[in-house]
Amino acid sequence: MLPDEEDSVVVNNGTTQLSLLPLAKLKRWQWWLLVAFNVSFLIIGQIAAVLLGRFYYDHGGNSKWMATLVQTIGFPILFIPYIIIPSSKQSSSTSAPSFSLPVIFVIYIVVGALIAGDNMLYSVGLLYLSASTYSLICATQLGFNAIFSYFINSQKFTALIFNSVVNLSLSAALIATNDDSDKPSGVTKGKYILGFIATLSASALYSLLLSIMQLTFQKVIKKETFSVVLELQIYTSFFATCVSTVGLFASGEWRTLSGEMDSFSKGGLAYVMTLVWTAVAWQVCSVGVVGLIFVVSSLFSNVISTLSLALTPLAAVAVFHDNMNSVKIIAMLLGIWGFCTYIYQNYLDDLADKRKQTDATGAVLSEASSPLLD
């Protein structure tokens, strides 16, 4: 829901008061600037992270747990904006926490563990699929999220959103039936199928996580500050990193890391920098994802993520020379069309909300300006 162009007005015993909710105080252009900021972070971060992940595997990396770990280990970077953002952004109407600390702690642990499992599925998928195929399959997350948002977040399911889901589902179906001629070197048919299933499962779990995060903001935390968004990302990433670290050592893959670095075709320094910048890229992406959940909704966040995934194959063709056959092109166009139909639905909702808010504000102002009777 978009903020009003003017602060909302409340009448209390004949006195007009301004709503102090941070998002409600934003002008429309400020709100759109905030949205654009988060969209840019999500798209740039996700494309860079996927390409770097494929680069890691292509040049000698083989640790699935390391590929999982770098997706969250960069979370300390988020302390920089967390410290910079002033605490005054919190609504003045909120004098005490509206949630139980043990409850939110349990939520952080559970969500963190689910994120680690989701990242592992993504790592398996990227290991056995080309970057372009992987990205197009990931685009199905919008369809999953539309369903989860309907049941968990009471998101309305219009004809345009249904059209978006259908187009994205058809896009994934085309990839599933496409030949695997562009699969990475040495990947068997069985591993290719495993990669497809792992990526599809990861997309479904990711969509569920987005809906859970939005529900946490709405029902548990009940605060509208960006610092709360960062707290959620920091703590869940911390627990996800703990789970991934345990997996790295329990699996024994940590013993192979030294050999991986020595045999990395681009050199040891390139190996380290690939992992470092992959970690940074994932955190940049995460800020955009959670920021859009906070500012708009989990479904909108997933739509922008889907747009990024639709653009990633183009980047993969340019960087890795992935095979971009006619089936992939059609799948990509279906994904972009699905994105456009949802954006149009969001535009219609925006107009409807604006009309309602204008009517409501006019009615309240009219009541406030009328003379009070003794």
Express each pLDDT in 123-141 by its tens digit: 999 999 888 888 888 877 8
Residue range 196-248, pLDDT digits in tens: 999 999 999 988 988 888 888 788 887 656 677 788 889 999 999 999 999 99
Is 151 part of any domain? yes
Number of compact structural domains in the chain: 1
Distance CA 216, CA 223 (A): 10
In whole angstroms, give the CA distance from residue 81 to residue 244. Answer: 25
Q: Is residue 135 part of a domain?
A: yes
The pLDDT, as a whole number, for residue 74 is 93
Residue 25 belongs to some domain of the structure: no
Tell me, yes or no, whether 90 lies in a domain. Answer: no
Cβ 59 vs Cβ 265: under 8 Å? yes
3-state secondary structure the chain: CCCCCCCCEEEECCEEEECCCHHHHCCHHHHHHHHHHHHHHHHHHHHHHHHHHHHHHHCCCCCHHHHHHCCCCCHHHHHHHHHHCCHHHCCCCCCCCCCCHHHHHHHHHHHHHHHHHHHHHHHHHHHHCCHHHHHHHHCCHHHHHHHHHHHHCCCCCCHHHHHHHHHHHHHHHHHHHCCCCCCCCCCCHHHHHHHHHHHHHHHHHHHHHHHHHHHHHHHHHCCCCHHHHHHHHHHHHHHHHHHHHHHHHHCCHHHHHHHHHHHCCCCHHHHHHHHHHHHHHHHHHHHHHHHHHHHCCHHHHHHHHHHHHHHHHHHHHHHHCCCCCHHHHHHHHHHHHHHHHHHHHHHHHHHHHHHHHHHHHHHHHHHHHCCCCC
Q: What is the pLDDT of residues 68-109, one digit of tens each?
A: 999 999 999 888 878 876 544 444 444 455 567 888 889 999
Is residue 118 in a domain? yes
For 175-202, what is the mean pLDDT?
81
Given a contact cutoff of 8 angstroms between Cβ atoms, the answer to whether 213 and 108 are in contact is no
More confident residue, 337 or 235: 235
Residue 371, pLDDT score: 53
Determine the pLDDT at residue 157.
Answer: 78
Contact 299, 345 (CB under 8 A): no
Does a structural domain hold residue 11? no
Domain span at residue 203 reads 45-85+100-358
pLDDT band for position 327 (cuts 50, 70, 90): confident
Most confident of 34-43, 64-73, 321-330: 64-73
Domain presence at residue 31: no
Top mean pLDDT of 173-177, 296-300, 340-344, 362-366 is at: 340-344
d(CA 268, CA 287): 29
